């Protein structure tokens, strides 16, 4: 179930669902998603669905990984991207093949440690990790050309807006319970523009690091 044919079926489905960035599709084709889930779930790794990774977290649906990556890159290549929510490391691995540098923040240390090991195994070495509170971002290394948030916030964290470079793009799910919207926020000369991109379903963005 981790065969090339299974992966090709996933890529075809993503294309049919509207993902059109050829670079994003190629990176998802070659990234071994089965390495980012428990062995017992490896046979489902190339289904277009979120899967549990423990600690009440999930590995994001491939469509959502592709769509959010595509939105970040919509205006051209990016040098410096911050990811809020390392999780399994799958979105991190995809991003690291699309942008020059990734700075990934995760509050659950055991998940981030596993993700680090997977990225080393795949020889993806342009990622720097921080164990900490995603609501705070990573101010010491700001500003970022792109920020991607892989958990739903009740509102847009001011700290993340502050850490966005001029012209920078923030892709973030916002809402609570069943009502969640994916937003694209761009830092303009005179403030921020916002686009609502549709309904989504993510685990909550929580405060405070956990060992």
Q: What CATH number is attached to the domain comprising 168?
A: 3.40.50.150
Strand, coil or helix: 92: helix
In contact, 89 and 150? CB cutoff 8 Å: no
Identify whether 120 is part of a domain. yes
- Backbone φ, ψ for residue 102 (5° rounding): -120, 135
Task: Report, as residue numbers or ranges, the catalytic residues.
Answer: 60
Specify the pLDDT at position 129.
97
Strand, coil or helix: 160: helix
Total domain count, the chain: 1
Identify whether 33 is part of a domain. no
Specify the pLDDT at position 207.
84
Identify whether 162 is part of a domain. yes
Q: Which residues pair with 173 in a beta bridge?
A: 182
Which domain range does residue 165 map to? 63-199
Identify whether 106 is part of a domain. yes
Specify the pLDDT at position 2.
60
Q: What pTM value is reported for the model? A: 0.94
Residues of the chain predicted below pLDDT 50: none
């Amino acid at each position: 179930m981790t065969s090339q044919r299974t992966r090709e079926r996933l890529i075809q489905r993503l294309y049919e669902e509207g993902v059109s960035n050829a670079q994003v599709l190629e990176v998802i084709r070659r990234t071994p998603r089965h390495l980012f889930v428990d062995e017992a779930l490896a046979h489902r790794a190339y289904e277009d669905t979120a899967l549990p990774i423990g600690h009440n977290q999930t590995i994001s649906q491939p469509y959502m990984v592709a769509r959010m990556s595509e939105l970040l890159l919509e205006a051209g290549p990016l040098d410096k991207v911050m990811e809020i929510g390392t999780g399994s490391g799958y979105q991190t691995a995809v991003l690291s093949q699309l942008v020059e540098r990734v700075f990934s923040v995760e509050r659950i240390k055991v998940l981030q440690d596993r993700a680090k090991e997977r990225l080393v195994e795949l020889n993806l070495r342009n990622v720097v990790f921080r164990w900490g509170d995603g609501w705070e971002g990573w101010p010491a290394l700001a500003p970022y050309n792109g920020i991607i948030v892989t958990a739903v916030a009740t509102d847009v964290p001011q700290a993340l807006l502050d850490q966005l470079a001029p012209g920078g793009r923030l892709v973030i799910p916002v809402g609570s319970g069943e009502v969640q919207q994916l937003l694209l926020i761009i830092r303009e000369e005179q403030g921020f523009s916002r686009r609502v991109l549709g309904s989504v379903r993510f685990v909550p963005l929580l405060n405070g690091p956990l060992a």
